[in-house]
Amino acid sequence: MHHHHAMIAGAADMWEVAAGLEARGVTDVDARRLRHRDVFGLAEELFARVPRKTARTAAPAPAPHPEHPRGRARPHPHPHPRDLALHLLPGAACSVAAALHTPAPVAVAVLAATAWPALHRGPLRTTGRAAARVPAALCALALLALARCGPDPVGTGTLAVLALTLLPAAALARWFAASARAQLAPSHSLADFADAVRPRLLAALAGYAATLLVLLALLGSLRGSAVGALLFAARLLSVHGAPRAATAGLAAAVAAQALLAALLPVAAGTAEAAACGAAALALAAHCLHRVPRASAHRT
């Protein structure tokens, strides 16, 4: 309690304490050594015994909820209409750019400029220092530039489809975050929580991939599907506290794609699918390992 006093005193609730303890290496084995069933039971006692900071003491305690015996209601967040508009703007702007047959660099710039506000609001927003966030953003921009301006570029229509999937990506990320956060209450251990969250994460990843493939199929080509899947997996990692892994995956894909395109310019499309597909699978696997942890869902 003394060692983790600052974290406990600044926590919004006992679930944030449990996530913070896990992030600092406390396991269910450690909790049982301290005569508690699991980390959640230990967090409950620590949260009760450590006084809240002044800003926290004025907040009323949450009312018990009948569905969750530990007293935390399942969150039901709803997007603000302004957020919906921000997430629809990139798709609309890129669709107009495709209709006007704008040059490739201009189309990429339009997508980057219109997506930037959306990625700084709502469920796809990342926190932390700019030093951790900017490299991932630059790698994502380089990936899109390679896809649209490389030796075998995708069409502006494909770029518009990628932009249109920003809204379903945000919806899936919002649903997953709320669902995982609600699972903290009924879980009886960290392993129990991870086992319950992992299928939800798989559903979010599969839901985005299915949406992207359907839209690309309507366009008549599946080019760009690996790029979209990679960008979504990287964003989920960044949102849930692993920006370095996301940056590493994006940077590896950019380097591999650039190298393969330079060596085999006539097969640039295959290079894109191979580089981005492999990186997307690697990041998805890391997502399934990293994101189901309770520490990835701290407020």
Torsion-angle region of 101 (φ positive above 0: left; ψ -120 to 50: alpha; else: beta) = left
pLDDT tens digits, one per residue of 272-290: 899 999 999 999 999 999 9
Residue 136 clears pLDDT 70, i.e. is over it: yes
Secondary structure string (H, E, C) spanning 127-174: CCCHHHHHHHHHHHHHHHHHHHHCCCCCCHHHHHHHHHCHHHHHHHHH
What is the pLDDT, as a whole number, of residue 77? 54
Structure confidence by residue, pLDDT tens digits, 6-54: 888 878 777 778 878 877 878 777 878 877 777 877 888 888 888 866 4
pLDDT at 148 over 70: yes
Within 10 angstroms of residue 218's Cβ, the number of other Cβ atoms is 8
Q: Where would I find the H helices in 10-129?
A: 14-23, 28-33, 39-49, 54-57, 81-99, 104-118
Decide if pLDDT at 56 tops 50: no
Which residues lie below 8 Å from residue 15, measured CB to CB, with a gap of 6+?
40, 43, 72, 181, 184, 185, 294
pLDDT confidence of residue 279: 96
Residue 170 or residue 297, greater confidence: 170
In this prediction, residue 7 carries a pLDDT of 84
pLDDT average, residue stretch 101-113: 93
Residue 258's pLDDT band, with cuts at 50, 70 and 90, is confident
pLDDT at 59 over 90: no
Q: Express each pLDDT in 230-240 by its tens digit.
A: 999 999 999 99
Banded pLDDT at 69 (limits 50, 70, 90): very low
216 pLDDT exceeds 90?
yes
pLDDT in tens, 197-211: 999 999 999 999 999
Considering only CA atoms, which of 230, 108, 109, 223 is closest in space to residue 169?
230
Nearest-5° Cα angle at 231, 226 to 232: 100
pLDDT-wise least confident of 33-37, 54-58, 111-115, 195-199: 54-58
Mean of the per-residue pLDDT values of the chain: 84
Residue 67 pLDDT > 50, yes or no?
A: no
Query: Is pLDDT above 60 for 222?
Result: yes
User: What pLDDT is stored for residue 299 in this prediction?
Assistant: 53
